Amino acid sequence: MKRQIEDVKYNISKSLELPMDIIMDLPKLNLVGDGELTIQNHKGIIEYTEGTIRINTRIGVFKITGESLEIKTILSEEITIIGLIKRIEIIS
Query: Tens of pLDDT along 45-76?
Result: 999 999 999 999 989 999 999 999 999 999 99
Q: Other C-beta atoms within 10 Å of 83: how many?
A: 20
The letter for the amino acid at 69 is L
pLDDT of residue 57: 93
Is 79 a domain residue?
A: yes
Domain assignment of residue 42, given as a range: 26-91
Name the pTM for this structure: 0.77
pLDDT in tens, 4-60: 766 766 666 666 666 665 555 789 999 999 999 999 999 999 999 999 999 999 899
* H or E element at residue 66: strand 60-74
Cβ contact 68:50 at 8 Å = yes
Cβ contact 52:65 at 8 Å = yes
CATH of the domain at 67: 2.60.40.2000
Is 61 a domain residue?
A: yes
Cβ contact 19:13 at 8 Å = yes
